[in-house]
Amino acid sequence: MSLFNIFGKRDVSSELMKNPPYKLSVELVPYRLESGKKSSSMLYIHIANMTTESVLTSVVVETPQQLGFDEMGIAKQKEIRIGNMEPKEEKELKAEVFGGISTEKGSYTLSLTAIMHYRDYGHVINAVKKRLMVNVV
């Protein structure tokens, strides 16, 4: 775009939208929660910047109603602001997932979203979503 040429900036938005910007993998240790009592598992999130630019990054994790990010089960969403990630840089994040007394047996879905931002955390360029099944026995 010529507007960016006036200010000496180049337009990289089309490059950043072509391919998925992140490689996202998750692991739950232990891989299941216990029903009917308070239990927790550690969620390990591995994220890698697959673009050729330094990008501002955050990760949002959401749980269903029966699970949470605190022992009381009140916090259902967690945003982890990583900051700028350089090209090909990898990071590992942790979040503890809790089940409570009212958590019944079954499978529950966690939703993860890795977001690429522009300038600040309020503007989104691109995102990658992933789902993870949590078993409660």
Question: All domains of the chain, ordered by start, with CATH?
Answer: 2-136 (2.60.40.3880)
Instruction: DSSP letter for 58, please.
Output: E
Retrieve residue 104's tokens. 């019944």
Q: CA torsion angle for 12, 46, 83, 19 (degrees, to 10)?
A: 10
CA dihedral for 64, 80, 87, 124, sign (positive or negative): positive
Retrieve residue 102's tokens. 């009212």
134 φ, ψ to 5°? -110, 125
pLDDT tens digits, one per residue of 41-84 = 999 999 999 999 999 999 999 999 999 999 988 999 999 999 99
pTM: 0.83
